[in-house]
A and B are shown apart, each in its own frame.
Chain A
Amino acid sequence: MNADRSLSRKSSSVDAEGVRSYRYADYIRNSGDLYISYNDLAPVIQYDADGHPLPYRPPALRLRLPEAARLLQPYASVRFVDQVSAVAPLAIYLALFQILILRQLVQDAWLVTAGMFAVIVGLMLFLEGLKIGLMPFGTAIGEQLPRKLALPLVLIITLMLGIGVTFAEPAIGALKMAGQIVSVERAPYLYALLNQWSDALVLVVGISVGLAAVIGTMRFLYGWSLKPLIFFSLIIAFVPTLYMAADPQLASVLGLAWDTGAVTTGPVTVPLVLALGVGISAAAGKGSGGLSGFGIVTLASLFPVAGVLFLALYVASVQSPAEIVEAARQSAALANMGVSAWYASSPGIEIMSGVRAILPLVIFLFLVLSFILRERLANQAEIFLGIGLTIAGICIFNLGLTYGLSMLGNSAGNLVPSAFMKIDDIVISPIYSYGIGLLLALVFAWFLGFGATIAEPALTALGMTAEELTNGIFKKKTLVMAVSTGVACGIALGLAKLIFDLSLVWLLAGSYAVAAILTLISSEAFVNVAWDSAGVTTGPVTVPLVLAMGLGFGNATEAIEGFGILCLASVGPIITVLISGLWSSYKSRLEAAQVNDQAQNLSILESAKGIS
C-alpha cells in the first residue's frame, strides 16, 4: 500500500518547496506510536479534459488470510456464543439430571455431544444465512408487492409464502423424525400421518399457516379485533377434536395435531410472514397502529390444528388401520431387502431434507421478485452466500437433530420414569418411592420448560413490545416470568398427562375454555400479546427436545403416543399472561384511584386552609 513506503514518524511537515521534514525529538519521544499523514493514503483523482474531476471508484480490498481470520473471528464467535447460550444450559441440565438424580450415564455421550455441537453450528449458520440471504427478499417483497399488485393477488402470494416457510422451518424435521418412534400397531393413523403422509402433513400445515397469514393480514387492513378471530379458530379446531375424541383410533392423532401449532411458528415463518403482513398494511396506510404485527402468529398456531385434523379424517376415510399396518410392514421389508439409495440413509437423508426444505422457498421468493416485481436485489453474491449458509445450516442442524437433540430428549424421556416406576432396562428402578419419584419427574419437567423459555431471545423482544403497547403497565420482566411459568406448567401438565394417561381432549378443552373466558374480559392489547406469546416461545431447540422427550416418556410408560406436551406448553402461557395482564391493570387502576384519593384529600385540605 501507499502508506508502507512513506512511514513517517510524528508530524512530518511539508514546507513551501514541498520538502518533507521530520523532527528528531518527535521520533525519540514517540517511538511507540506511528503517525502517518492521511494525505499519503488519499487516492489520486483523475480529471477529464475540461478539468472536471472524474468519479473515483475504490478498488476491491484484498485481505491476506490472517487478516481475514481476524475479521471473521469476532463475527463468528458472537454468533456461536449466542447459540451456545441457548442450547448448552438445556443440554447440561438434561445430562446432569440423568447422572445425579437418575444415576444413569448418558448413552453414547460422545455422539450426543457431537450432535449438540452440530445443532449449535447449524443454527448459527442457518440464522445468519436467513438474515443475509432470505430476509432481503422478505423486506423487498413486503415493501413493494402491495404497491404493485392488487390485493387479492397479494393475498394469494401470502398464502403461497405461508406454505414455503413451513417447509423451511427447522423444527418440522423433528416431526418427521418423531414418526420413526411411533408404533404402527398401536396408533396406525398417527403412524400413517407421520410416515406415508408426512409430506401431505407438512403441506396441509403450510396451507393453514398461509391462510392464517392471509386472515392476519386482512385483520391489519381492516382493523378487526383479534378476539372474534380467536373464538372462530377455537371453534373450527375443537369441533373435529371433539368428534375424533369419540373414536379411539382417531383420538391418537389429536396430540400430534395440537402440537403442530407450536412447531410451525419458528424462526423462518414469523419474520418472513410478518414482513409481508406489515408491508401490506403499511402500503394501505394502516401500519401505524401499535398492534400491527400481532395476531398472525396466533392464527398460525391455531389453524394448523384444524388442518391436520381434517387431513386425518381424510386419511381415515381412504385407509383402514389394517391397510396402514400392512403398508408399513411392506415398506419396512423393502428397506431391509436391498441397498437403499444414498439419500435414504443418514447422513444423506438429513442433507436431502435440508435442501428440499429451503430451495422451494428460495425459488418462490426469487420468482416473485424477478417476474412480478421485476426487481434485482443489490449484492447478489452476498445473497447467494446467505442462501448457501441457510442450506448448509439446516443440513447440519438436521444431523444434530438426529444425533443430539432427539437422542438426548428421547433418552431423558426413557429414563425419567425410572424415578418412580419399574423400567426393564434399569436394574435399580424404581430409584425412589412412588410419591417422591413422581414429584421429581414433574419438577424436572417444570424446570426444563422454565429454563428453555426464559432464555428465548424472541421472548425478550416480545416483552419490550408489550411494555410499549401497554404504556409500561405490563413490564417486560412480568411478561417473561409469566410466559416461562406458563410453559413450565404446561410441560409438567403434559408429563402428568402421559403418566396418568389423562385425556388430552379434556385438558385442552378445559385450558382453552379458561383462556377463552380470560380473553373475553381482557383488553385488546393484552389479548394480542398473550396469544402471540404462545407461538413465540417454542423455538427450534425446545420443540425437538420436548417432542423427543415426550415420545421417549410415552414409550417408557407405555402410553399410546407421547404427543400433546407442546400444545399444553402453548396454552399455558396464554393463561398466565392473561391473568398477569388482568392483575397488573387491576393494580395500576388501584394505584390511580389512590393517587386520585390523595389528590382529592389534598385539595380538600387546601381549600379548608383557604377558608380558615
Chain B
Amino acid sequence: MKNSNITYFTDVVLITCVVAHGRGDEAIKAAQEAGVTGAIVYHARGSGVRERLGLLGIAVEVEKDVITAIAATSQRDLVMYSLYTKLGLDRPGAGVVYAMPLNKMATYIPADMRERLQTKVL
C-alpha cells in the first residue's frame, strides 16, 4: 500500500441529479457546460410524490434518469445552479439535485497534465 504510486484528488464532490426518463442527456449537457468532465446516467424507478398527487400524478414520470457527476468543490455551486435552472427543477415534480462530499478520487491522469500538476505542487 505504501508505494502504490497513486495520485489522489481531493476537494471533490459528487453531484447527483434525478430527472424524468429521457432527460438524462439534457442534464449531462447542462453539467458539461458548467465544466464537469463526464457523467453517468442510471435508469431507475422513482416513487413518492407521484402517489400523493392524485390524478395530477400522471405528469410525474415513474421512470427516472439518475445522473451522477464528479466535480471540484469550487465547481459545485455553478453545476448545481446550471442543473437546477436548465432542467427547470423549480417546477413541481421535475426532479432533484444534490451534492455529496467525496473523500478522495483517483483516475488516469494524462502525462502533460501530471507534469503541470507536479511543477505546481513543487
Contacts and interface: CB of A to CB of B under 8 A. Distances in A.
B91 A74 contact: yes
B99 interface: no
Nearest to A378: B51
A59 B52 contact: yes
A60 B53 CA distance: 6
B53 A132 contact: no
B101 to A, nearest CB: 16
B49 A74 contact: no
B52 A75 contact: no
Nearest to B77: A33
Contacts of A386: 58
B49 A61 contact: yes
Interface string A8-44: 0000000000000000000000000000000000000
Interface string A52-80: 00000011110100011011111100000
A75 B22 CA distance: 12
A599 interface: no
A382 interface: yes
A381 B58 CA distance: 11
A68 B92 CA distance: 8
Contacts of A128: 58
Contacts of B93: 71
A68 B60 CA distance: 11
A61 B92 CA distance: 11
A383 B57 CA distance: 12
B57 to A, nearest CB: 7
A71 B91 contact: yes
Interface in B15-36: none
A509 interface: no
A58 B56 contact: no
A61 B60 CA distance: 13
Contacts of A514: none
A590 interface: no
Contacts of A3: none
Contacts of B94: 74
Contact of A61 (B53, B58, B88): B53
Contacts of B53: 60-61, 63, 71
Interface residues of A, number: 19
A332 to B, nearest CB: 46
Interface string B57-97: 11110000000000000000000000000001001111000
A72 B59 contact: yes
Interface in A320-363: none
A251 to B, nearest CB: 49
A145 to B, nearest CB: 24
Given A63-B92, A67-B92, A72 B56 contact: yes
B55 interface: yes
Contacts of A61: 49, 52-54
Contacts of B55: 381-382, 385
Nearest to B91: A70
Contacts of B58: 75, 128, 132, 382, 385-386
B90 to A, nearest CB: 8
Interface in A85-132: 128, 132
Nearest to B88: A74
B57 A382 contact: yes
B52 A60 contact: yes
Contacts of B49: 61
A58 B59 contact: no
The residue in B55, B56, B58, B88 that gathers the most chain A C-beta atoms within 10 A of its C-beta is B58
A382 B59 CA distance: 11
A67 B49 CA distance: 14
The residue in A58, A74, A381 that gathers the most chain B C-beta atoms within 10 A of its C-beta is A74
Contacts of A59: 52
B92 A58 contact: no
A59 B53 CA distance: 10
A63 B91 CA distance: 11
A381 B93 CA distance: 19
Nearest to A72: B59
B54 A381 contact: yes
Nearest to B87: A74
A18 to B, nearest CB: 27
Nearest to A385: B55
Interface string A374-386: 0000000110011
A68 B56 contact: yes
Contact of B59 (A60, A71, A381): A71
A59 B52 CA distance: 7
Contacts of A71: 53, 56, 59-60, 91-93
Contacts of A63: 53, 56, 92
A132 B60 CA distance: 12
Nearest to A132: B58
B100 to A, nearest CB: 14
Contacts of A382: 55, 57-58
B52 to A, nearest CB: 4
The residue in A60, A61, A67, A70 that gathers the most chain B C-beta atoms within 10 A of its C-beta is A61
A63 B92 CA distance: 9
Interface in A124-179: 128, 132
A72 B55 CA distance: 11
Nearest to B53: A61
A70 B90 CA distance: 9
Contacts of B52: 58-61
Nearest to A67: B92
Contact of B92 (A60, A70, A132, A381): A70
A59 B59 CA distance: 19
A72 B59 CA distance: 6
B110 to A, nearest CB: 32
Nearest to A384: B55
A72 B91 CA distance: 9
B59 A75 contact: yes
A58 B50 CA distance: 12
Nearest to B92: A71
Nearest to A76: B59
A67 B55 CA distance: 14
Give the 3 A-B residue pairs with the shortest CB-CB distance, closest first: A75-B59, A71-B92, A61-B52
14 contacts: A58-B52, A59-B52, A60-B52, A60-B54, A63-B56, A68-B56, A68-B92, A71-B53, A71-B56, A71-B91, A75-B58, A75-B59, A128-B58, A385-B58
Given A63-B92, A385-B58, A386-B58, 10 more contacts: A60-B53, A61-B54, A68-B92, A71-B60, A72-B56, A75-B59, A128-B58, A132-B58, A382-B55, A385-B55
